[in-house]
Amino acid sequence: MTTLFIADSVFQNHLVPEGHPERPARLAAIEKALAAPVFAPLTRENAPAGNMHLATLAHPAGYVGEIVAQAPAEGLHFLDADTSMSPGTLPAAFAALGAAERAVSAIIDGEVANAFIACRPPGHHAEREAAMGFCFFNNIAVAARLAQARGAKRIVIVDWDVHHGNGTQDIFWSDRDVLFISSHEMPNYPGTGAMDERGEHDNILNLPLRAGDGGRIFREAFETRAFPAIRKHGADMILISAGFDAHRRDPLAEIRLEAADFAWATEKLMGLAQSLCGNRILSMLEGGYDLEGLAESTAAHVEMLMGA
Ligand SMILES: [Zn+2]
């Protein structure tokens, strides 16, 4: 069994203002890194187009309609100071959901062991009814709903992006079947993610880190809090909001992880997936803004996934 890698030029057509960190070059850097010979065994696919309906799995139809209505025919349309749409934004955002649907099916049907989707725009800041922080639709939340629709009822979402996954927390706050775990720098954007935010059913686990923390403290938080919570909750599929902006080179935060720390977390989650859910892991790109740090971290993550 192999690892499915979904990438597509459609994701680079979501354009942003000059100097914006969440830029198309991020994906070019990832694709270049994953062109190395060690990645030859990957099953490579482009992203299906996706559609509005997929977005309604995690957002009210009215909200999805509002986003669609704001898409510009040319130029940029700003939803807030750092979240803007270009003509290529909707096709990219929908394709991320189409890719999630394809990957969930491929994993549940046993075609592949696991999958990584190199998509943008990212999704984890998108709340039920709010676009923010470079995000419009919550990709990983839609993936969770798709997995549940295919019979994978108990979901674990691990979000190691350096920013709190406020959108994912908002969507699953009252959902006892979904355990959401987020490690992130605090204080930092978006400001939420304190340890006492635990969800209606104790199904939210926030692991705030401090600026300057590195791999030792990150690993300790996962070992002592995240992994026991996953074992207790159980899982029919593990989803990863794979942001790589906790890398020490990243310009948006001060957590000092190395690519090896992401590989370590990946390996540990694979061990849990092996014992809990037949290896099922779906990982989707979130942040990561230093091209070198992003490329080496993604490569380490995907190379580990290939060992399943
Ligand atoms: Zn981030």
Given the structure tokens 């001060």, which residue do they identify? 254
Spatial separation of the C-alpha atoms in residues 136 and 70, rounded to whole Å: 11
pLDDT of residue 43: 98
71 alpha carbon to ligand 1 midpoint, in Å? Answer: 24
Measured distance CA(45)–CA(52) in Å, rounded:
21
pLDDT (tens digit, 9 = 90+) per residue, 125-146?
999 999 999 999 999 999 999 9
Q: What is the pLDDT of residue 107?
A: 98
- Give residues whose Cβ lies within 5 Å of ion ligand 1: 161, 163, 243, 245, 287
Q: What is the pLDDT of residue 156?
A: 99
Matching residue, tokens 């696919």: 45
* pLDDT bucket at 64, cuts 50 / 70 / 90: very high
Give residue 135's identity as a one-letter amino acid code.
Answer: C
**Does residue 33 have a pLDDT over 90?**
yes
User: Phi/psi of residue 214, each to 5°?
Assistant: -130, -160
| Segment 79-122, tens digit of pLDDT | 999 999 999 999 999 999 999 999 999 999 999 999 999 999 99
Distance CA 82, CA 21 (A): 10
Which of the residues 59, 124, 125, 233 is marked catalytic? 125
* 257 Cα–ligand 1 center, Å: 14
Check whether 308 has a pLDDT greater than 90. no
pLDDT at residue 147 is higher than 90: yes
pLDDT tens profile 194-247? 999 999 999 999 999 999 999 999 999 999 999 999 999 999 999 999 999 999
Whether 125 is catalytic = yes
- The rounded percent of the chain whose pLDDT value lies above 90 is 99
1 has a pLDDT exceeding 90: no
Return the CATH fold of 3-7+24-45+99-305. Arginase; Chain A (3.40.800)
| Gyration radius from the chain CA atoms | 17
Q: How far is the CA of 286 from the centre of ligand 1 (A)?
A: 7
Q: 173 C-alpha to center of ligand 1: Å?
A: 20
**Quick check: 24 and 17 in contact, CB under 8 A?**
no
Domain definitions of the chain by residue range: 3-7+24-45+99-305
Predicted TM-score of the model (pTM): 0.98
